[in-house]
Structure 1
Amino acid sequence: MLAREVRILFRKEWRQLVRSRGAMLTALFLPIILLVLVPGGQMLGLKTGATKPVNLPPGMVLPPGMRELVESPLAMMRAMLVPFIALGGLIVPSVTASYILITERESRTLELLVALPVRVGQILLAKLLALLSLASLTTLVLFSVDAVLILWLGIGSPGFVLALLAVLLTSLTFSTTSALLVSLLARDFRTANNLNGVLIGPTILVCFLVTLAVPGPILSSLLLAALFAVGSGAATFVAMKVVTFERLLR
């Protein structure tokens, strides 16, 4: 059960997010492209092309994550869905976090929190929950479209869909915690966006490397979900240790 202070702060953060046009456009526009238009278009294209044989050059050795392509032309689609879903979960919170904190810092409303009987940990928790709620609400609705297409077109099993869901939820959590930490430490939008880019870029690369190196999309999805969970825990631990009211307001 959340403390009363956290619930009050959460309602304040949620209203601020909903009223921010930039935050709402980011939360809706990018996920539609990353989670629906690109993968959905590819999956629908497979409806007519999935039965075509896959011809590989003689002697070509595929990485473990791509070896199923020889047996099933749908393997490429299953493999590419893993980083696409992860990317959809990574992008939204990393951009939205800048709106919820840096705008508040520039408008000097953060200073009002000092006079309230709340701890910095409660402020961080409320912001974290608000960001995660907005990102989850938009991405889970869009993910359901992908899930229906995967099962309808026979691209993957229900277990594969659940593994992708684990990737989405953990990538949302990791991106939310790390982006919140970056926004707490950055002084302006430009610095926050640059730092987020430095963090998200290598993370996306890791997603593709895991997809290529780990055999089977379900196993690679579960490994990515575990890595995201560890990363989100580390980011939360650092935020709780290094962020103080003084650093929050500087």
Structure 2
Amino acid sequence: MLTGPHALYVKWSLSFGMIEYVLLGVMAYDRYVAICHPLHYTVTMDRNTCVKLAAVSWCSSFLSAMSICVLTLALPYCGPNVLNHFFCEVPSVLRLACTDTSLAELVVFIFSILLVFIPFLLIVVSYVRILLSVQRMRSASGRHKALSTCASHLTVVALFYGTAIFMYMRPQSKSSRAGGKVIAVFYTVATPMLNPLIYSLRNQDVKGALKRALAKQRKQVHKRMAGITAEREEFRRSSVDISRRAVSMWAQVQAPKAGSDEDSLALKHWVYQS
């Protein structure tokens, strides 16, 4: 049985991961109400409703994580205690158990359906209704505004849910350990680091600053390329001039041996033509 800081780490990491998925489903519903029923938004999504949705998300995630952790960490672990992973991920911990883990895997799969797949269905249904509502809009600016509002949320949904479904909703016997480690690092480290950038791109000031930085970088690149081109042209001209002078000097030295002035003139003409 695993106890101590390892058990706390498994519980808290799993809890916060589940909270993220449930909150993404709640955010999809918020965008559905804002775009499809804008006049009812302040009534439907008032302060009390938001607090209740947040409380349900946190409580359901903590209870689910507690159930999974109690069942997983209570298993006997009599084999090697080295975890082939970057951190204590539940599927990796189950591989160390020296007993049948079918029940634990079934519990993980059930809670994955409840807290990952069902919110994902809510997101899909919400965005289908949003797309239908956007198609009925007559204003191009209104359609652009509605789609830009959903762009950041859809990006985060694709990152989180894509990795979660691949990680937790597949049989353990068919999972790849190396692939599982890469995916786990992606949705626990890379995706949270990208969240501030993804959500801040909706801010007009951030967009303007990003565009100015890219334009400045583009000008610097063009300036460097123009300088390199000028240096290459100057080098080519210098090389041609030096070559002509060298060949001219060689022709003057070889002129007395050519046998006639006509041969010397022909040689000089060939040098300048080259």
Question: Same fold judged by TM-score > 0.5?
Answer: no
TM-score, normalised via structure 1 length:
0.32
State the TM-score, normalized to the length of structure 2: 0.30
Which structure has more RCO (C-alpha within 8 Å, separation ≥ 6)? 1
